[in-house]
Amino acid sequence: MDFDFSPEEQKFADEVEQWLVDNHDPVVMDHHRENFSQLSDTPERRAFMKKLAAKGWLGMSWPKQYGGQEIEGVFEFILTEALSRHAAPQIGKGVGIIGKTLIRHGSEKLKREFLPQILNAEVEFAVGYSEPQAGSDAANMQLKAEKVEGGWKLNGQKMWTTSAHFADWYWVGARTDPDKRKHDGISLFLIPMDHPGLEVQSLPTIGKDTTNQVFFEDVFVPDDYLVGERGRGFQMISEALDLERFTMFTLSPITNRTDVLVDWVKQAKRDGKPLKDDPNVRRTIAHIVTDTAVAKGLSTRFLCAAKGGGKPPTIQSSQYKLFTTTLSQRVCKDALDIAGHEGTIMEGQEEAPLLGRFEGAYRATMNETVGGGSSEIQKNIIARRHLGLPKNF
């Protein structure tokens, strides 16, 4: 198996890299935002996405009939990793989660309305699955969708909806059929985020940015805005989560941080002695670099399994997400350990090594091991679906 890019893929990677260098903008590209740098939450960041759209780089893997180029997902992977390497906004939510699910399951009306907007970077989405009593167990969601004349009336609450404070549309799961088995009673809806009856309350997180809780009071959704088949929402959500676990958790922050760590170790001293002479420090970094190569291998496995489109590969996605987000966290923790007592100084203080880059990043990685389904949930999926072990302990 060849782990290197083909000449055509490498050419594209070089083109993207050059374009990002030429279009560098410190207002848009901010490494200190860590994983939240992927969101298009400001006018400048939305303008940047429009430039990407003008390059024809949104929806490259989509079918031609919906404005895509029908090329393999590896090109989107190359683009996403390059954007992440430059701390620029990313394409995952619109092109990946919403766009790909609509292409597989949406009505022609919803495809006609939303796919061009995604391709032109004219729309931002928030994704609402989690609720106060339905986090890891998303199938337990209780947001009530009651059938009324011409549509649905939604009442209840969502929790942890990232992007709700700036998004245009809400991609939201609700219980339409409470009498059915819990996995079969959920449907998916699209709702304009400024709809009367929706109230967004922000929750600043440990990870440097904001998520939200959202309250629904008699929110009317026309029939046309039910996505796919009634009662099949959970199956679509599961597919979308398989995509999210691969596309929203990139490798580049790990390699970026490792480079920063190595550069720092090369010149830092402890008790008057160069840190680079400490064998424990060298071993720790060698371990990180080796595990990064394993994470790259897991990403290649996902891309191979996802070739040709179709249902995203669940096991490969969970293995990638579990390994990459825990490694991402470990890199920060190892860097803080290497920094010794100075590692405890908070981000932004002059005395903090690298101005606390790893202190801030460590907090951000706490969110990564939870968002998109926690590490425990990824292990459960692998144990059950891959190894055929029982569902619960």
Ligand X SMILES: Cc1cc2nc3c(=O)[nH]c(=O)nc-3n(C[C@H](O)[C@H](O)[C@H](O)COP(=O)(O)OP(=O)(O)OC[C@H]3O[C@@H](n4cnc5c(N)ncnc54)[C@H](O)[C@@H]3O)c2cc1C
- Contact footprint for ligand X (CB under 6 A): 127-130, 135-136, 160-162, 205, 207, 211, 367, 370-374, 376-377, 380
The least CB distance from residue 290 to ligand X, in Å, is 27
Per DSSP, the three-state class of 381 is helix
The least CB distance from residue 204 to ligand X, in Å, is 10
Nearer to ligand X, 68 or 156 (CB): 156
124, 46 Cβ separation under 8 angstroms:
yes
Nearer to ligand X, 205 or 284 (CB): 205
Nearer to ligand X, 99 or 353 (CB): 99
Q: At what angle do helices 252-267 and 279-306 cross, to 10 degrees?
A: 160
Nearer to ligand X, 65 or 136 (CB): 136
User: Which of 148, 143, 98 is CA-nearest to residue 119?
Assistant: 98
The least CB distance from residue 369 to ligand X, in Å, is 9
The least CB distance from residue 183 to ligand X, in Å, is 15
Give the Cα separation of 59 and 102 in Å (integer).
12
φ/ψ of residue 313, rounded to 5: -75, 115
Q: Which residues contact 307 (CB under 8 A, 6 or more apart)?
A: 72, 73
Question: From residue 174, how far is each of 97, 145, 151, 222, 370 by CA, in Å?
Answer: 17, 6, 13, 14, 22
The least CB distance from residue 265 to ligand X, in Å, is 30
The least CB distance from residue 312 to ligand X, in Å, is 17
Nearer to ligand X, 228 or 353 (CB): 228
Local structure of residue 311 (DSSP, 8 states): S
Nearer to ligand X, 40 or 130 (CB): 130
The least CB distance from residue 304 to ligand X, in Å, is 26
Nearer to ligand X, 128 or 353 (CB): 128
The least CB distance from residue 193 to ligand X, in Å, is 13
φ/ψ of residue 336, rounded to 5: -65, -40
Question: From residue 258, how far is each of 18, 66, 81, 95 by CA, in Å?
Answer: 22, 39, 15, 29
248, 38 Cβ separation under 8 angstroms:
yes
> Which residue is it, tokens 């941080």?
257
| Closest CB to ligand X: residue number | 135
Nearer to ligand X, 97 or 303 (CB): 97
12, 57 Cβ separation under 8 angstroms:
no
User: Which of 236, 243, 247 is CA-nearest to residue 138?
Assistant: 236
